[in-house]
Amino acid sequence: MSAPRQRTRALSALRRLLARLGGSFGGRARAERERELHDELESHLQLDVDERIARGVPPDEARRQALLALGGLEATKERVRDAARTRWLEDLLHDARFALRGFRRDRLFFAVVVLTFALGIGANTAIFAAFNAVLLRPLPYPDGDRLVRISSTDLRAGESRMPVTPADFADYRDATRSYSLMAASSDGIFTLTGEGEPESIIGYRFAPEMFTVLGVHPALGRAFVAADGAHVVVLSDRLWRRRFHSDPGVVGRYIRLDSERYLVVGVMPQSFNQWGSNELWVPLVIGPDIATSRTRPMIRIVARLRPGATVESARAELRTVAASLATAHPDTNALRGAEVVSLRTIDSGDARPALYVLLGAVVFVLLLTSSNIAGLSLARASRRNREIALRTALGAGRGRIVRQLFTESVLLACIGGAAGVVLALWSTDLLVRLFPTHTSNVHIPHIDHIPIDARVLLFGVAATLLAGTLAGLTPAIRGSRIDFGDMLKGGRASVRGSRIRPVLVAAQIGLALVLSAGAGLTILSAHARQQRLGFDGDRVFTARVLLDRSRYPDEARRRQFAVDLDARLHATRDIRESGLVHILPLCGWSSPVDYHTPGHPEETHEAGLLLADAGYFSTMRIPILRGRSFTATDTLTAPKVALVDERFARHVFGSIEVVGKRVDFGTAKEPDWRTIVGVVGDVSNDPPPQRQRMMIYWPFAQDDPPFLAVVARGDGEASAVAAAVRDAIWAVDREQPISYAMPMDELVADAFALDRTSTIILGFFALVALVIAAMGVYGVLAHTVLERRHEIGIRLALGAPRRHIVTLVGRQLALMTATGLVVGLAATLAAGRVLAALLEGVSAHDPGLLAGIITLLALVAAAAAALPLWRALRTDPMIALRDP
Amino acid sequence: MSKQDVWQGTLALMVLKTLEAMGAMHGYGIARRIEQVSDDRLALNYGTLYPALVKLEQEGFIDAKWGVSEHGRRAKYYSLTRAGHREVARAEREWRQTTELVARFLAPAKAGS
């Protein structure tokens, strides 16, 4: 007795909720219904009143009695509204139950559709989860979207995000009004000694107000203030756990950095680990000697926008300031601009294009899976024609049938969507590999897990509803148009149904073309980038050495370290070849140098600079194209020499025959002429997606290396080479920390992590697209053959040649495929314009690739047609007689 | 089944049957007719009639049209649709089977002989 009542109660609660949700929709129709209801009840009362008056009841009393008999005007209205609303909910439940019963009868259909939905929705949810984790996740600072980075730009070289000089910083700060607070910082490298192995640590020098700008507070202790002086330090949570065993007692103790004593005043919270790879913060002290400098760019500025200011307005204002500085200080600031970029943009900048490409591609996957399901549902609907016709005949309205079919589709999408979210949860492990683990200073955030949070789930629900709607629309509209008269008589599938499916399949082929072409281009581009590394890192082991300035205070000692290390490395048995360079390729660091254009000494441009020795080029197999490599004679006292890469030679001189030419790398007051002694091959020094710059190489012996890296190649095990490198370094200086010891291959893999993983994903999407297109072609042709088996049987019985049957099937195949390919090609060419910006080394309209993919799709379509064709040819002519 | 469900099912049948017998009628007319047929033994709360009418209309058993009453009042007139006619037949059959069944239980001696 109570179950139905409970259900009624649950229904009415749900109904109220939905009524509230639906309140904003269909307002006009609702007002209309309300008015009509009111009119009807008023008319009822009037009729009742009339009759009561006729019986002699006084008018007022008659009205009162009529209202009483009705049970109140508003109460009745409410009861009617309730009845009207419950109806569609009951229908929905009924439809859902009915659909589930249907699925139980049609298990294969159910499984295929749910899996397809799961794939489409799961892929979308997973990619969105990665997108969400990188581009939408909150920054680890309160109100982080109001934070901006202010940098200088080189107006001529187009270089942006350059550090700011101390004097410019002061002017930016004093002349702008867009910021509530602006603070300076600069990065540095510190050597931590005293506890365990010596270690090079990347740290930041923070102006004390930087903590306020960022809005962060230490988890332990306090941040430093101006009164603390220079020798205090705040540790990162990471460093605190790793080096100090999470000991809260470290606050108040002294640690040794660069051989000086620093008082630990605080430890930052774990959430602050995301701030680059830095491990500690010490006060930034700008001495009076450099405070007025406009030639030493060393400051990185973070500012918080004042309420009302936008990044755009702040940028416009700062450009004006930079322009006035250019006028006031033409000799230093003439070519210097300024840029304001939100911290969020910088944080994820390099991952952005790849994620947009993936997100775009995955939408195509959703369209494809939905259209595939629409095709499957149409096929199923044609088998259900009799059922639908019967229901129409029994008085079910057209809307009712549309709703039934639609409910089925959305229900399938919901089941598939739930499976899809589970799929997405699993696949985030794969997606995490998009993000490099070792490459620093690349603007790709380090992400070790991709959360499926509320926003991702909401996206999954939206994708589910969209997919269900897309897949359900065509079958529902089609299904409702079945002419039940015909159906009850003949029971044969109506012809109209088979006209929509070929259109769907043509669309699938078109979508598959766009998706595979996009994937193909991205893969080719990534491949081209990896092909043009310009060096061979196989079996090369690397280690970086950041010399402690307190122990190597002068140039001579630093140079001596390099000389000693070089000798040691060459004397080691496990190392066959070795070399030194100051920055390894693809590690994310770079150093620039200005050169004067030969023939136009007033023009200076920027190129990348590397300090290297001869061993670097031979170990890395970087070819010497012209002239010679560095030699032992290129000493500090010898004539200054340089190597340039092919890019530089062609750009500056228009030819690679540049040996013997001289280039000035100095300033107007202090020229620094060097002779080009050789040309080397181009090397990918900057990780993708950054563009490669022209490179200049100076011999290690003729400059002061701020830090250095070892490249070593051995015949034995990688671990043996690694140990040999470590021993060589420690043989020179047992106190010297070694950073980032790893095989060169690992560095390469890391730099291309985003590229490689996204090409795997895109390749997978393209494969899914091909499979779906093949399924579509197969489905339509199989349906055609089944539907026309009588005709085929009769033809064969009458002796029609088999090629007629081939033509029958072939014509439909050709029409679908050709339409799909033409439309797909047009869409691909249009999309190419968007994609072109992200491609390197391959044209967005690469004819070979497009031709290849079109051929592949045509072959896949033909292969999918083979089975239906075979069936058609084997049709038993007797079928025409047996089953008329 | 709850009382209300029985009542609603019965009421719906009464409405359909009334419309089948009398042709198009307005809500008040249907209510009065049901009272008269039941010899006023059934104290009908007129308000309960309208939710039943809405449901029947949604099910496609009845149609509604505005018209004018014999005394010149505007009123909404309901009439049976084709599906409604079939529904009356179906519901009548079902009702008869149910009452027969119940009747057997109420008179067990007769059924047992």
CATH of the domain at B14: 1.10.10.10
Report residue A438's pLDDT band, with 50, 70 and 90 as the boundaries: low
- In the three-class reduction of DSSP (H, G, I as helix; E, B as strand; rest coil), residue A545 is classed as strand
Map tokens 């996009």 to a residue. Answer: A518
Q: What average pLDDT score do residues A20-36 get? A: 64
pLDDT at A26 over 60: no
The pLDDT value given to residue A494? 46
Minimal-distance CA residue of chain A relative to B44:
A69
Q: How far is A469 from chain B (nearest CA, A)?
A: 24
Q: What is the pLDDT of residues B11-67, one digit of tens each?
A: 888 899 999 988 899 999 998 888 888 776 666 778 888 988 988 888 888 998 898
pLDDT at A720 over 50: yes
- CB contact under 8 Å between B46 and A70, yes or no, is yes
Minimal-distance CA residue of chain B relative to A33:
B54
For a pLDDT cut of 70, what percent of chain A falls above it?
A: 87
The pLDDT value given to residue A304? 92
The pLDDT value given to residue B78? 93
Joined tokens for residue A93: 């439940």
Task: Compare B21 and A17 and report the one with higher pLDDT.
Answer: B21
The answer to whether residues A714 and A539 touch, using CB atoms and an 8 Å cutoff, is: yes
| A539-553, A655-669, A807-821, A868-882: range with lowest mean pLDDT | A868-882
Report residue A24's pLDDT band, with 50, 70 and 90 as the boundaries: very low
Joined tokens for residue B46: 């007129």
Partners of A205 in beta bridges: A186, A282
Q: What average pLDDT score do residues A629-648 get? A: 89
- CB contact under 8 Å between A69 and B46, yes or no, is yes
What is the distance in angstroms between the CA of the first residue and the CA of the last residue of chain A?
53
> What values do phi and psi take at A148, rounded to 5?
-130, 155
Instruction: Return d(Cα A582, Cα A708) in angstroms, integer.
Output: 4
CA pseudo-torsion sign A452, A454, A459, A463:
positive
Q: What is the pLDDT of residues A461-512, one digit of tens each?
A: 888 888 888 888 777 776 666 555 555 554 444 444 557 778 888 888 998 8
C-alpha dist (Å) from residue B14 to A780, B35, B38:
52, 10, 10
Report residue A233's pLDDT band, with 50, 70 and 90 as the boundaries: very high
| A22-26, A445-449, A541-545: range with lowest mean pLDDT | A22-26
Chain B residues with CB under 8 Å of A5 CB are: 2
Report residue B112's pLDDT band, with 50, 70 and 90 as the boundaries: very low
Neighbours of A130 (CB within 10 A): 28
The pLDDT value given to residue A25? 43
The pLDDT value given to residue A27? 56
CA pseudo-torsion sign A113, A116, A119, A124:
negative
Joined tokens for residue B62: 């009845």
Task: Compare A383 and A16 and report the one with higher pLDDT.
Answer: A383
**Cα A759 to chain center, whole Å?**
12
- CB contact under 8 Å between A47 and B75, yes or no, is yes
Instruction: Return d(Cα A155, Cα A298) in angstroms, integer.
Output: 18
Partners of A712 in beta bridges: A541, A578
The pLDDT value given to residue B111? 43
Q: What average pLDDT score do residues A539-557 get? A: 82
Q: What is the pLDDT of residues A771-802, one digit of tens each?
A: 888 888 888 888 788 778 778 888 888 888 88
User: Rounded to the nearest 10 degrees, what angle do helices A398-431 and A454-479 cross at?
Assistant: 140
The answer to whether residues A170 and A324 touch, using CB atoms and an 8 Å cutoff, is: no
CB under 8 A, 24+ apart: contacts of A174-179: A175/A321, A175/A324, A176/A314, A176/A317, A176/A318, A176/A321, A177/A306, A177/A317, A178/A305, A178/A306, A178/A309, A178/A313, A178/A314, A178/A317, A178/A318, A179/A148, A179/A303, A179/A304, A179/A305, A179/A306, A179/A309, A179/A314
Joined tokens for residue A589: 């660091």
Chain A residues with CB under 8 Å of B1 CB are: 1, 4
- CB contact under 8 Å between B60 and A397, yes or no, is yes
The pLDDT value given to residue B32? 87
Q: Are strands A179-193 and A300-305 parallel, antiparallel or unpaired?
A: antiparallel
pLDDT at A214 over 80: yes
Mean pLDDT, rounded, of chain A: 81
The pLDDT value given to residue A625? 92
The amino acid that residue A226 corresponds to is A
Q: How far is A468 from chain B (nearest CA, A)?
A: 26
Instruction: Return d(Cα A84, Cα A89) in angstroms, integer.
Output: 10
Q: What average pLDDT score do residues A136-162 get? A: 77
Instruction: Return d(Cα A609, Cα A644) in angstroms, integer.
Output: 9
Residues A509-529 as b/e (b if ≥16 CB within 10 A, e otherwise) read: bbbbbbbbbbbbbbbbbbeeb
What is the distance in angstroms between the CA of the first residue and the CA of the last residue of chain B?
31
The pLDDT value given to residue A277? 64
- CB contact under 8 Å between A43 and B76, yes or no, is yes
Instruction: Return d(Cα A824, Cα A769) in angstroms, integer.
Output: 13
**Cα A804 to chain center, whole Å?**
51
Report residue A195's pLDDT band, with 50, 70 and 90 as the boundaries: low
Give the nearest partner residue to B45 out of A1, A51, A71, using CB atoms. Answer: A71
pLDDT at A394 over 60: yes
The pLDDT value given to residue A678? 92
pLDDT at A3 over 60: no
Which residue segment(s) compose the domain that B27 sits in? 3-112
| A49-63, A111-125, A474-488, B73-87: range with lowest mean pLDDT | A474-488
Give the closest residue to A534 by CA, choosing from A606, A585, A570: A585
The pLDDT value given to residue A22? 47
pLDDT at A14 over 70: no
- C-alpha angle A340-A345-A350 in degrees, rounded to nearest 5: 120
The pLDDT value given to residue A679? 93
Strands (DSSP E) found in chain B = 25-26, 62-68, 74-80
- In the three-class reduction of DSSP (H, G, I as helix; E, B as strand; rest coil), residue B93 is classed as helix
CA pseudo-torsion sign A101, A106, A112, A113:
negative
What ipTM was predicted for this assembly? 0.85
Task: Compare A344 and A412 and report the one with higher pLDDT.
Answer: A412
> What values do phi and psi take at B66, rounded to 5?
-75, 140
The answer to whether residues A306 and A180 touch, using CB atoms and an 8 Å cutoff, is: yes
> What values do phi and psi take at A214, rounded to 5?
-75, -20
| A402-406, A686-690, A758-762: range with lowest mean pLDDT | A686-690
Minimal-distance CA residue of chain A relative to B52:
A83
Task: Compare A821 and A431 and report the one with higher pLDDT.
Answer: A821
- In the three-class reduction of DSSP (H, G, I as helix; E, B as strand; rest coil), residue A664 is classed as strand
Q: What is the pLDDT of residues A304-339, one digit of tens each?
A: 998 888 888 888 888 888 888 888 888 778 888 888
Instruction: Return d(Cα A531, Cα A515) in angstroms, integer.
Output: 24
pLDDT at B113 over 50: no
Q: Are strands A695-699 and A600-612 parallel, antiparallel or unpaired?
A: parallel
Q: What average pLDDT score do residues A20-43 get? A: 71
pLDDT at B6 over 50: no
User: Rounded to the nearest 10 degrees, what angle do helices A718-732 and A555-571 cross at?
Assistant: 140
pLDDT at A1 over 50: no
The pLDDT value given to residue A621? 92
Chains A, B: CB contacts under 8 A, how many? 81
In three-state form (DSSP H/G/I as H, E/B as E, the rest C), the secondary structure along A298-319 is CEEEEEEECCCCCHHHHHHHHH
The answer to whether residues A608 and A693 touch, using CB atoms and an 8 Å cutoff, is: yes
> What values do phi and psi take at A383, rounded to 5?
-75, -20
Map tokens 């990347």 to a residue. Answer: A202
Chain B residues with CB under 8 Å of A76 CB are: 46-47, 50
> What values do phi and psi take at A801, rounded to 5?
-65, 150
Partners of A232 in beta bridges: A263
Map tokens 């109806």 to a residue. Answer: A87
The pLDDT value given to residue A31? 79
What is the number of structural domains in chain B? 1
The pLDDT value given to residue A641? 92
> What values do phi and psi take at B75, rounded to 5?
-150, 160
Cis peptide before A283 (omega within 30 of 0): no
Q: What average pLDDT score do residues A167-185 get? A: 88
